[in-house]
Structure 1
Amino acid sequence: MKQLFGAVGRRTLLFFGRVYDATQLSVDSMYWLIIAPLRGKGLRWKSSIEQMVLVGVNSIPIISILSLFVGMILALQGAYVLRPFGATLYVADLVGVTMTRELAPLVTAIILAGRSGSAFAAEIGTMKVSEEVDALVTIGLNPTKFLVIPKLLAIIIMQPCLTLISDVVSMLGGMVIGMGLLQIDWLRYIRQTRDALILQDILTGLIKSVVFAMIIALVGCYEGFQVEGGAEGVGIHTTSSVVKSIFLIIVADLIVTTFFFYFL
């Protein structure tokens, strides 16, 4: 019994210690991202632009291909349900609204969590193991400003852009199915999609994408700073960053969706 309580106590202290560290990183990041620039401490825009290329531009092909397939799958599943009612035209409504409000930001976030979030953790973790992070502190550079903020700024800017690309490409995928299998005229499909969508649908997806972007960047960087024990530690925390990011993305998606459902 004594060993049981000891194990529970150690795990509880470890959990709250990690929560404290993650909270501190988040607060520091918000300071260097929002407050510090207002006080004349500029952002590292050159590094941020380099990260935008890595996070955003290089992710366009994979996000476009997967979004196209998701749009086609959603159209096929919608047609399966709507065909008995003679309402296959409303596949356009289903694909447009579902992708803009839910699936496009979610698919984009999951891809970036695996692609960029893991890269953040691996990069910072490698620097931590090789004592480069300690070297930054020694020469008077703040690790959060120097390492985290360019990544955070890049993904906050690029994730909504990638989500918009996912919106458009997924609707094209739905239109391909509508034209090829459901005999829906392409102009009619576009008009139906336009009539179904409202500005709130698009804004909902974009707001979600910003929330997801912050989760991916902060979790990836946090796991990188926690690395210990050489290359093995880098691998463990890189994997952990992906798992935790996806879990928190799903939780945040539920919270934001519930908020919009009741208040907007």
Structure 2
Amino acid sequence: MPAAKTIRVIGHRAINAVWRIGMATRFFFLILLYSGNSFRRFHLIIKELFSTGVMSLIIIVVAGLFVGMVLGLQGYETLKRYGSESALGVMVALGLVRELGPVVAALLFASRAGSAMTAEIGLMKATEQISAMEMMAVNPVARIVAPRFWAGVVSMPLLAALFSAVGVFGGYFVGVVQIGVDEGSFWSQMQAAVDFREDILNGVIKSFVFGMAVTVIALFEGYDAPPTAEGVSGATTRTVVQSSLAILMLDFVLTAMMFGGN
């Protein structure tokens, strides 16, 4: 009996997870369907760009700087063992552009902007603002969801690019200014090694996909949250957890597709 009960519980949870994935997919297509109305009210997207993008700048810049500095320190200690200190710029740049920039920026975006989206829409549902829109024949998906979705999709690649750029300068500060790596070698080898298509463009694609995943999860959890304080709190927590797992899983899939055949 205990084994049967355990199997039954696992089965119910698996079915519920599949059902929620299906509902989130349907929600995503609804956003795309009603996006035309949002583009006609472009000021709504601009407003959300400020909330999701501009308000996330500080945490992105600070985190990018320190991640780059840590990469500079760790990279120098590793390369020094093989007499390749001059390749520090290559190591820092490729690590940031290919992996750490898109992934860490997306995790920070999910924690800051994603949780805020979920809490805001969940609170609107709890205070019956969404129901009021529906009673006035205003489509809440077109009015409040789609602008946030496109703002998140646009913001994420820009934030990831900023994270990588600041991280490179953090690595430069540690490697060149503090440790004394040759400045010319740092920049010239970086310029020669970093390829636009193989490295930069792939990083942009990753951050774009991460932005879509985070915003869809955040908006769906907020829109589907029970209209109570506990419901909104739980939805916000699920947004951060599910977004983080989705980012890491998508990172593996995209990396395997981009670099697996090389």
TM bucket (normalised to shorter chain) is over 0.9
Give, in whole Å, the separation in 1 of the partners of 2:235 and 2:195: 41
Structure 2: state its 5+ residue gaps: none
5 Å-filtered alignment, 1:146-185, equals 146-185=143-182
5 Å-filtered alignment, 1:85-234, equals 85-200=82-197, 201-234=199-232
Counterpart pick for 1:24 among 5, 23, 26: 26
Three-state SS of the structure 2 residue aligned to 1:85 is: coil
Give, in whole Å, the separation in 1 of the partners of 2:7 and 2:59: 48
Q: TM-score, normalised by structure 1?
A: 0.91
Offset, 1:101: 0.9
Shifted more, 58-67 versus 204-213: the winner is 58-67
Offset, 1:15: 2.4
Offset, 1:163: 1.4
Give, in whole Å, the separation in 2 of the partners of 1:80 and 1:252: 31
Offset, 1:5: 5.9
Structure 1: state its 5+ residue gaps: none
Percent identity, aligned pairs only, is 32
Contact 2:127 2:227 in 1 (8 A): no
Give, in whole Å, the separation in 2 of the partners of 1:73 and 1:259: 28
Contact 1:88 1:182 in 2 (8 A): no
Alpha-carbon displacement from aligned partner over 1:65-100 (angstroms, at most 9, x marks no partner): 111110111111111111022111111100011101
Counterpart pick for 2:47 among 45, 50, 60: 50
Backbone CA RMSD of aligned residues: 1.9
Three-state SS of the structure 1 residue aligned to 2:34 is: helix
Name the aligned partner's letter for residue 20 of structure 1: G
Give, in whole Å, the separation in 1 of the partners of 2:79 and 2:61: 26
How many correspondences in the alignment? 259
Offset, 1:42: 4.0
Give, in whole Å, the separation in 1 of the partners of 2:227 and 2:33: 30
For the pair 1:78 / 2:80, whether they are aligned, the reply is no
Alpha-carbon displacement from aligned partner over 1:214-256 (angstroms, at most 9, x marks no partner): 1111100111012115111111110110110010010011111
